[in-house]
Amino acid sequence: MLVQTLKGFRDFLPQEAKKRQYVIQTLKKVFESYGFEPLETPALEYKEILTGKYGDEGDKLMYTFQDNGGRDVALRYDQTVPLARVVAQYQNELSLPFKRFQIQPVWRAENTQRGRFREFLQCDIDICGTKSSLSDAELLSLIYKGYSSLGFESFKILVNDRDLFKNLAQKAITIIDKIKKIGEEEVIKELQEIGVSSEVLEELLSAQKTDSLQDITSQAVLLGVPESILVFEPTLARGLDYYTGIIIEVEIDGYTVGSVGGGGRYDNLIGMFAGKDIPAVGFAFGFDRIMDAMEEKNLFPSSVGNDDILVTIFSPEYLEDSLSLLSTLRENNITAQIYLDPQVKMEKQLKYADQKNISYVLILGPEEKEKNRVTFKNMKTREQIQRSLQEILQLLAKN
Amino acid sequence: MLVQTLKGFRDFLPQEAKKRQYVIQTLKKVFESYGFEPLETPALEYKEILTGKYGDEGDKLMYTFQDNGGRDVALRYDQTVPLARVVAQYQNELSLPFKRFQIQPVWRAENTQRGRFREFLQCDIDICGTKSSLSDAELLSLIYKGYSSLGFESFKILVNDRDLFKNLAQKAITIIDKIKKIGEEEVIKELQEIGVSSEVLEELLSAQKTDSLQDITSQAVLLGVPESILVFEPTLARGLDYYTGIIIEVEIDGYTVGSVGGGGRYDNLIGMFAGKDIPAVGFAFGFDRIMDAMEEKNLFPSSVGNDDILVTIFSPEYLEDSLSLLSTLRENNITAQIYLDPQVKMEKQLKYADQKNISYVLILGPEEKEKNRVTFKNMKTREQIQRSLQEILQLLAKN
The answer to whether B316 contacts chain A (CB < 8 Å) is no
Chunked mean pLDDT (size 10), chain B, 399 residues: 92 96 97 95 97 86 94 96 96 91 96 86 97 96 97 97 89 88 92 90 92 96 95 88 92 95 95 91 96 96 72 96 93 91 94 91 96 95 95 82
Contact B11 A42 (CB under 8 A): yes
Contact B340 A97 (CB under 8 A): yes
- Give residue A10's pLDDT band: very low, low, confident or very high (50, 70, 90): very high
User: Model ipTM?
Assistant: 0.92
Could you give all domains of chain B from N- to C-terminal order, each with its CATH number?
A: 14-296 (3.30.930.10), 309-398 (3.40.50.800)
Do B345 and B315 form a contact (C-beta atoms < 8 A)? no
Q: What is the mean pLDDT of chain A?
A: 93
Distance separating alpha carbons of residues B262 and A157, to the nearest angstrom = 49
Q: Given this model, what pLDDT does residue A174 score?
A: 87
Q: pLDDT tens-digit profile of A372-382?
A: 999 999 999 99
Amino acid identity, residue B177?
A: D
Q: A46 vs A42, A72, A85, A269, B263, CA distance in Å? A: 10, 6, 11, 17, 34
Do A386 and A368 form a contact (C-beta atoms < 8 A)? yes
The answer to whether B186 contacts chain A (CB < 8 Å) is no
Distance separating alpha carbons of residues B248 and B242, to the nearest angstrom = 14
Q: Given this model, what pLDDT does residue B304 score?
A: 54
Residue A153 backbone phi and psi in degrees, to 5:
-105, -25
How many Cβ pairs closer than 8 A exist between chain A and B? 244
- Give residue A170's pLDDT band: very low, low, confident or very high (50, 70, 90): confident
Specify whether the backbone of A333 is left (phi greater than 0), alpha (psi in -120 to 50) or beta: left
Task: Give the mutation candidate from B7, B40, B225 for the A interface (greatest A CB count, under 10 A).
Answer: B40
Q: Given this model, what pLDDT does residue B167 score?
A: 85
- Give residue A398's pLDDT band: very low, low, confident or very high (50, 70, 90): low
Do A310 and A360 form a contact (C-beta atoms < 8 A)? yes
The verdict on whether omega for the bond into residue B97 sits within 30 degrees of 0, i.e. cis, is yes
Task: Give the mutation candidate from A65, A73, A323, A348 for the B interface (greatest B CB count, under 10 A).
Answer: A323
Q: Is the pLDDT of residue A305 over 60?
A: no
